[in-house]
Structures are given as C-alpha cells and as structure tokens.
Amino acid sequence: MGWLIAVIILWIMVIPAAADQPSEATTKCVVPHAIADTRPGPAGVPTRVSIGIYVVDVGRINDVEQYFSTDVFMRVRWRDPRLASVANCKFALTDVWNPEVFFINQTDVSKNLEDVVFVGPEGAVLYRQRFVGGVSSYLDLRHFPLDRQVLQLRFLAGGYTPEEVVFVPDEGIDGREEKFSTAEWSIGPLTKHIGAFYFAPQDRSFSSIDYEMIATRHAGFYVWKVIFPLMLFVCMSWAVFWLDPSQLGTQVGLSATVMVICVIFILNLGTVLPKVPYLTRVDRYVIGSLVLVFLALMEAVTSGILASQGKEALAKTLDRWSRLVFPGSFFLVFIFAFFV
C-alpha cells in the first residue's frame, strides 16, 4: 500500500512541473533577441528583397476622381540567417525584421490576409498579402475618349534607402489575370521598374518598385452616345439652307429648336464626360458643333432679313454657299477634335 501512495505523490509533483516546462515546438518558435530591430547581413551590404505581385482584377477606372479599383496578391521574400534556428515557424510581421513594404498610392485598400511571416530553411522568410480596394493614379484625359492611361501600383521599402534594401523582381509570381471585370478598357501586360522614390520632406530616397499596365479606352460607347447624335443635330441645323429665305419665322424656329436641343444634350453629357479643367478631344468636338449650330441660326436670320429687304437673290446665294461651307467646316472641326 505504501508503494501506491508513493506513486501518487510522485505523480502529483512531477506531472505539473513537466507541464510548466515549454514544449519543444514552443521553445523552437521564439524569435531570437533584437531580430526586429536590426537589418540582416553585414553593415554596408544592402539586403536583397524579392517582391512580386499578381493582379487578380482591375475594376472600375474613375476618370473624375483619378483612381481605379484593383485586387492584387503580393509576395515578398528575403533571407535572414539569424532565423535559421526557427525554421518552419510562423511569426507576426512586426516580430521580425522586415522591409516594411508600403503600398504608397493606395487610397482605401484593405488587407485580406494576416500580417504574418513564414520562416523556411536557412532563414528564408516569406510574407504574403492581398490588397483589395482603390488606387490613386494620374489620368491625362486630353485625348478622351481616344486615350490610353498608365495604371500604376507603387511599392516602397518604408524607411530604407537603396543602399540598405534592394528590390529584386520575383519572376515566379509577377503577372495578371487574362480578363478583368472592367468593360470599358483593354488592359495590357504588367511591366515593372525598380528605382528610388524621392521624399522631399525628409530629403531622402527610398527603394521602390513600380508596376504598370497600359489601359486603352474602348471609344464605342462615346461614338454612339455622344459623337454620332451630336453629328445628327448639326446636320439638322443645315436644313434652313434649303428653305425659302422669305420664310424667316420657319428658319429661325427650326434653328432655335436645334440650338435648344443641342444645349440640353450637352448639359446631360455632364454625367458621362470627365470633369477636368482642360479641354479634351470630345470637348473640342462638342464646342465646335455648338458654334456651328449657332452660326447656322445667325445665317438663317441674315438670309431672312436680306429677303425681307428685297435682296432675295443675295439671300439665296448666301444659302447656296452655306450648303458647302458648313459641312466643310464641320469636317474640319471633326479632324481638329480627334486627329490633330
């Protein structure tokens, strides 16, 4: 009986003590001291950081607010020999040294993955993240709607100069989906440029890598919704050149009606045209068309006044010349707007 009591006492004393000791896995996955504070490698030698992105989607490109929505998967890898002893462990990103990759031109992007790193053999560190949301990008709309835009995704090594961190493209992941959800644009292949981003407030340059895609707008919507209807309105205004100059009321009424229709049409274009302080190609076309409609109204008034003064021959001559001059002028407006 005594031996049974001794076993029970031993069990009570030994088992809790063993439970208080960290397991082998727990002991292994502990970050060595001060790893998060210093850059790996010898002083004066930049840390090579492999970075690559895969563009899952590009959604709406907003002309007015100068941004586009995107879905991007990013992979960042570097080597930290100080972590070789904790291979196959996972840590919070801030627990180890990291290049602090910053998505600089994002506006309302959210992260869909945890901010954690995975440590592999020999201190190979892997960080993965997925960004979904809006990205600011300067759009030059002077050639709208025949424009091509550069969609840029810019990443910085926050706080590290090119002498401290060097970006290396990760060719194994760089790429994009074959089709995107945006219907108004055709988007070209993904290209990349490694360089430095100068930050004026600190008078420093930070390591950067820029990913770019060329987006070409499909102009069909604007051809059928803007350019062609306005062309019909302009041609309608020329009907006064075939009316008898003595019918001043009919001429002025027709021209004024077309003028009002054009003004209402142009006001409604505000919902589909970009609101920029400079003239785009379609702005040139719209303004030129409106001026020609107004001049047709002035011609109708002039020929009607001439006819009322007994100068009907001169009025008819003015109408005949207008039948040639106005279509020719509209052709020049069209060429200047879209091809010059």
Task: Please compute the mean of the pLDDT values over residues 232-261 and round it to a whole number.
Answer: 87
Average pLDDT, the chain: 87
Which value, to the nearest 10 degrees, does the dihedral of the CA atoms of residues 159, 161, 165, 171 take? 100
Q: How do residues 53-111 score in pLDDT, each as one tens digit?
A: 999 999 989 887 889 999 999 999 999 999 999 999 999 999 999 999 999 999 889 99
Neighbours of 3 (CB within 10 A): 7
Class of domain 220-339: mainly alpha
* pLDDT tens-place string over residues 288-298: 999 999 999 89
List, by residue range, all CATH 2.70.170.10 domains of the chain. 32-217
Round to whole Å and give the CA distance between 103 and 73: 12
Bridge partners of residue 169, in order along the sequence = 51
User: Could you tell me what percent of the chain has a pLDDT over 90?
Assistant: 63
For 328, counting Cβ atoms within 10 Å of its Cβ (0-12 exposed, 13-18 middle, 19+ buried), the class is exposed
Is there a contact between 128 and 114 (Cβ–Cβ < 8 Å)? no
Question: CATH 1.20.58.390 in the chain, residues?
Answer: 220-339
Confidence of residue 277 (pLDDT cuts 50, 70, 90): confident
Instruction: Say which residue, 9 or 259, is predicted with more confidence.
Output: 259
Per-residue confidence (pLDDT) for residue 23, from 0 to 100:
38
The dihedrals phi and psi of 103, each to the nearest 5 degrees, come to: -85, 95
What CATH number does the domain located at 32-217 have?
A: 2.70.170.10
